[in-house]
Amino acid sequence: MSVEAKVMSLAAAADFLGTGAIEVPIFEREIMDVIRRTSVTLQRVPQVPATGHPHRYFEQTAIASASAVDPRNLSATPSGPTRLERPAFIKAVTAQSNLSLFDKDVTEQQGQFASVVAKDVDDIISGIEVKRAKMFWAGTDTSMSSPTTLEWMGALAQIGVTATVAPGASIIDGLKTQVAALLANQTYTVRPTAIYLNPVLADYIDQEAKASKITLDSVEVTAGVTVAAISTQAGKLPLIADPFMPTDTTAKYGASAPPASNQNYYAAILMESEIEIPVISGASYNPNPRMFQLGLVGNLSGQFVGVKFDTLIVKGATYAHALVVVNRA
């Protein structure tokens, strides 16, 4: 850039130059920021220390069998419980920002945005949490025991679609029917505790309740967060809207592609006590993402790297939970 061009660009930075007036641009000190950084779902799901890599646990799928016999001629066929070994490989999520020493010094010297460095470093952790929130539902891995990608195997893939609510059919009835089906299982004691869904699907339920003159209850799901709830055979279940719950226009998770001009909206009926996130963090257990500041590189830029080692396990995915797909515009 020539000297003349530089002078012109600097002059253009003034809002107005005139007799008795020089107006220069001044910005508000607060940066407008409503970016989503947290997930209600991740706040409600417990994190536990992983047993290793892979994390391992046992699942009992059957008990000894009994039979009715002649009381005067007792006989029995020996049997016993069935237990299965389950592995889950730990995944890694990272985020990094490089801070230029010169730009950091200029910002601090101007005193306009003194907190921006700390804000940007904190947002490295926020970036990790947002990625984990997206993977919770739609992680691309397809196997817990033989990983195929670097992401989690999302909850939608682990559970798989149980039922479909067609256009025009009652969403509330469809959800209540699947809750009843979970409770009717004679082999497993299933107790659903929440229904997670996309906010748009939650609005469809509100509209249906209003049209049918159904009064929805309310339940507090985290401190200060109250949501609508529907009455089911398992009691009142909160309808927790999660913006990270995806919608689809193609066939996924065992569901067919939606009819023309419709989308697939998912509602996950979860027994939350059987969902966990195993974490690897070293000798001292730390369930939070960790931050590391690396040494200065050749251009004197500071490197900040955040990392989290964990994965998602939906235990009893095929019987303790249900996934309902709703076809709506």
Per-residue pLDDT of the chain (329 residues; tens, 9 = 90+): 454 444 445 456 888 888 888 888 878 777 887 888 888 899 999 999 999 999 999 999 999 999 999 999 999 999 999 999 999 999 999 999 988 888 888 888 888 777 888 888 889 999 999 999 999 999 999 999 999 999 999 999 999 999 999 999 999 999 999 999 999 999 999 999 999 999 999 999 999 999 989 889 888 887 778 899 999 999 999 999 999 999 999 999 999 999 999 999 999 999 999 999 999 998 889 999 999 988 776 677 788 899 999 999 999 999 999 999 999 99
Q: Are strands 247-248 and 217-222 parallel, antiparallel or unpaired?
A: unpaired
d(Cα 181, Cα 321) in Å, to the nearest integer? 10
Crossing angle of the two packed helices 116-138 and 101-110, in degrees rounded to 10: 120
d(Cα 39, Cα 20) in Å, to the nearest integer? 53
Tell the residue number behind the tokens 């966990």, with chain if given: 276
Instruction: Return the structure tokens found at 194.
Output: 């929440």
d(Cα 273, Cα 288) in Å, to the nearest integer? 20
Question: What single-letter amino acid sits at 32?
Answer: M
3-state secondary structure of 178: helix
Nearest Cα to Cα of residue 40 among 308, 287, 227, 186: 227
d(Cα 172, Cα 160) in Å, to the nearest integer? 20
The pLDDT of residue 12 is 63
The pLDDT of residue 101 is 84
3-state secondary structure of 46: coil
pTM of the model: 0.88
- CA angle at 199 for the pair 149 and 191, rounded to the nearest 5°: 75
Question: By the 8 A CB rule, do 253 and 156 touch?
Answer: yes
First-residue to last-residue Cα distance in the chain = 53
Instruction: Return the structure tokens found at 126.
Output: 């926020």
The pLDDT of residue 13 is 80
d(Cα 119, Cα 130) in Å, to the nearest integer? 16
Strands (E), 139-242: 163-165, 194-197, 217-222, 225-232, 235-241
The pLDDT of residue 220 is 87
The pLDDT of residue 30 is 78
Question: By the 8 A CB rule, do 296 and 101 touch?
Answer: yes
Tell the residue number behind the tokens 């009994």, with chain if given: 66
